[in-house]
Structure formats: structure tokens, C-alpha cells
Amino acid sequence: MKVVLTGGPALRRVYTEETVEKISRIAGEKALFADTVPPDAEALFSTWGMPAFSSDFIEKNLTCLKYVFYGAGSVRGFARPFLENGVRVFSAWQANGVPVAEFTAAQTVLCAKRYFDVFTKAGGTPKGIQGIKAGIIGLGAIGSLVCRILRAKGICVYAYDRFLPDKYFEDIGVRRASLEELFSECDVITNHLADNAETRGMLGRDLIMRMKPDAYFINTGRGAQVDQDALLDALKESPERTALLDVTYPEPLPEGHGLLTCRNAIISPHIAGSLGSEVSEMGRFMCDEFERVVSGLPPLYEVTAEMLEIMA
């Protein structure tokens, strides 16, 4: 099988020499790194920097392509034209979600101890991890894992996701809540909504201004879901509130934006996801998925057109 690896500068870190050797063994011939996708390629491996192709281009020029394996998270920017042409798409979204969930859960624990008050001078009263209510917005792979981590620590978790049945909330041991209840009741609120037209601006002023005077808002999801002007006003209204933003909209924020100088806003440079040596785990996930697919076993990480509507 003709296999090609293409993408941005992270490609060779995601797909280590060992992983590429295994891909080649599975394919039965040497997998090649290339700047462009040749017309006889049957399987494409990529990561951040994956080129986007039109449906028409794929139909006319990539007629042999059967599979795309994406060693990163969201495939929303490129997947649909492939799916429209019958090319199966697989993503390491779950592997990339683990460090995000761990980062978010760690921040939540630190919030419970009001650790960030050291930097913001907020001066709130620590409640401890069993004393807080955490609100999780969006129960995709990352949000669900955050719930499981926090529940294992004995934290009371509220969650919002309009797509899931009540039984799912019961199974992971969290309380189903409306967004209004979640913002009003929870001490720590974290955003994990999918990024689509329906969710952009969804966390608006009415919700944000409901936050407790000493609440924390964490965003390791997407920045476009949040009314950042309202968030800034909420932080100014109560200096004991704190925002921990690993993502913003736009990213980075323009020079002079109020959140950059707001004392109780802490902005990190989009570091919650896989970094450094962690990125190779996503290449390994996609190699293992390739082996399952060519062996006729059920895939674990296939992305369908229906999933694109609700994935981050």
C-alpha cells in the first residue's frame, strides 16, 4: 500500500522514526515523507499543518486515496471534502484530549485551593477540593474525562451537554444542569464546547454575569464561544473572580486588549494540549489505528460526517 506523510513542521515529531517504520511494515512498503500528496497515495498520515483540499480536487487528483490518519485533534478544517469522496478519516482526538483534560483538572484543583490568588491578589477563601462545585460545559472526549478525574477526587461536578441523554450523566456520576444553573452555582467553570456556528458566542453576558463573586472561569476549549467583553466586565466587577484562559478569540489577543492587562485574568499560550515529546503519542495512536483498519478490525477513532457537527 502506498503511504505518504505530509503536513507542517511538527510532522516528524508526531511520527517518530519508530512509528514510521511500523507504518511501513503494516503497509508492506516504505512510507514516504512528501510535500504534496501523489495521485497514487492510498493512505495519508498528517498532523497540524494538514493541507486542506477541495472536494473537486480530491475527486480528480486523489482517486486512489482510501484513508486519512490525522495525528492531532480537530479535523473540522479539512475532513468534510474527504468524507464526501468516500475517503475514511481517523483522528487522534482522544490522545490529544488527555493532556488537555489533565491540565484542566489540575487547574481546577489549584482553584479549589485558591492558588492563583497569589498572582491576582484576589484574596478569596480556599474551600478545598471536596468543598467546591465544578461546572463542565460540553461532554465530549475532553469534558467527559475532566468529569471522571474530578469525580475521582470527590469533587461535586455539574455538567451541561444538550446532545446527551440523562443516563450518560448518571453513568459518569455528574449532575445535569442548565447553563444558567451551572454559572450561578459552580465555583469553577470550564469550557469544552465544540467550535461551530451554533456555539460561537454561546457563553454570553447573561451567563457570565451570573458567576459567583469569587468564581473561576477556565477555558481550554475554544475562545470563540465566550463573550470576552462580558468576561472582562465580570472580572472588573469582582476582583475575586479569576479567568484562566489557555485559548482566546482571536489568538493571540490584539495588543491593548483589556484582558491582557486585567489583574485577575491569567492567559497561557495554548499549552494545554500535547507538547514536546507528548505529541508522538498521537502518531502512535494513528499507527495502531492503521493496523486495525488494514487488518479488518473495528476502528476506534474514525470520524464521520455526523460527528463533525458536534466535535470540537
Task: Note whether 89 and 79 are within 8 A (CB).
Answer: yes
Active site residues per annotation: 222, 251, 270
Q: Is the dihedral of CA 165, 166, 171, 177 positive or negative?
A: positive
Give the DSSP H or E segment for 244.
strand 242-245
C-alpha cell at 302: 474514525
Burial class (CB in 10 A: 0-12, 13-18, 19+), 289: buried
Closest CA to 244 of 259, 255, 229: 259
Q: SS3 sequence, 117-134?
A: HHHHCCCCCCCCHHHCEE
